[in-house]
Amino acid sequence: MARVEPGLERVSKGLDSHVNHVLLPAILLQDLRSVEIAQSLMMLAAFQCPNKDIREDRSWTLLVHAIRVASELNLQGSLFVKCTEQGEAECRRRRNAERTWINLWLHEFSLAQHTGRRSLLADQGLFPACREWYLEPHACHSDLVLVAMVELRTIVLQNRQLYKQLPKESTSYYVEHCKSDLKAWSRAWVSASKSMPRLELATLYVNHALIQLLGLALHNTPGAEWNPDIILDLYQACLNYLEAFPNLLAPAKLVYCYNSMFVAATYEAAVAIRLANLAAKFGFIDVATICSLCGRVSSCLDQAAATTTTIDTAARSYARFLTCILQLPPSRQQSSQPEVPPFTFDTESSLGFESLEMFAWAGALSAQQDDLLAELFRWQ
């Protein structure tokens, strides 16, 4: 919080120094372990400041250390082997440990996708073990949200595995299967979104999942063979996400979000830009609409970045990176809607749909390097 609150720059630097030079060395060298240490390392990974060099990014390192600490404490153990209750205090202690592990599983799944790594925990089969976890005694109100998010990630994982098992001619079946699973998830959980703090972003989560799954199919199919129906589904999911984002995450709220929200927004904009460059081939793609919605998301990120004077916040890095992608002037004022795509990155390059999420993550980490951005986007 100190990192983004105006006037707290010295506090933020002092805390960063204390973490880097006192806490982390003590945790690693003295082999300190506790649930709170695992939670702290996870939060540090989730809110890690973007680095100029992606090779220096410590998000994955911090998260893996959190997983190591949690594994050594066996925080996940009681999720898979139900234990006899030993009173309210013990039950609450156990649930705190389980809650920590579920959050670790969720964050590791997302960060692995962002960074193009193979997930360490995804194959654990967590959802069957925690399907009714939120109904158990002494559950917190928000535990339901964790179960909903685990189910959504499991849907993504299972459908990605399904795609690998199906022959190429079954792509249409794969797409319909994905859409059916995600519609079922929406029916089960979106109704609870108005009263549940995190599930209020369910529209973003479910469209992000669909975009990922459709992108997988297109990534592994030659462009000349792309099914217009799949392109239409992807286009509509992008529009749904981009339209909902500024409405659900006002700048004053967005600035406090963890890094994954910025990666996702930039990724969705990158996919939309790729689609805009296909407008000549697929007549239903409205370039003006894409420009308008991407511009609103970019403006939202810019306003979030403007709420703090700190240079290296996620909001500022991703805002600058998205601005470069969109090629928008600083004033963001255009006399008329463009009739042709204003974007300059090569749609025929090897950067396929499946690579765009890592592109969004890695690009924003280098958002302060003008030379690199100029090379990527021919940005002047």
Q: Please report how many Cα atoms fall inside a 13 Å half-sphere around the Cα of residue 25, on the Cβ side.
A: 5
The per-residue pLDDT for range 115-131, each reduced to its tens digit, is 888 888 988 889 988 98
Residues 63-67 have a mean pLDDT of: 94
Is residue 368 pLDDT above 90, yes or no? no
Which pair of structure tokens corresponds to residue 213?
């799954």
The pLDDT of 348-364, averaged and rounded, is 66
- The radius of gyration computed from the CA coordinates of the chain, to the nearest angstrom, equals 21
Q: Does 278 score more than 80 pLDDT?
A: yes
The confidence band for 269, taking pLDDT boundaries of 50, 70 and 90, is: very high
What's the confidence (pLDDT) of residue 27? 87
pLDDT of residue 5: 67
Of 199-203, 291-295, 373-377, the poorest mean pLDDT is in 373-377
Helices of type H across the chain: 9-18, 24-29, 35-46, 59-72, 77-80, 88-115, 126-130, 143-165, 171-189, 202-219, 228-248, 251-254, 259-276, 287-306, 314-326, 356-365, 370-377
Helix, strand or coil for residue 294? helix
Q: Which two tokens stand for residue 110?
A: 């997302």
Please give the structure tokens belonging to residue 91: 């039950």
pLDDT band at 379 (very low <50, low <70, confident <90, very high): very low
Rounded to two decimals, what is the model's pTM?
Answer: 0.87
Residue of 162 and 222 predicted with greater confidence:
162
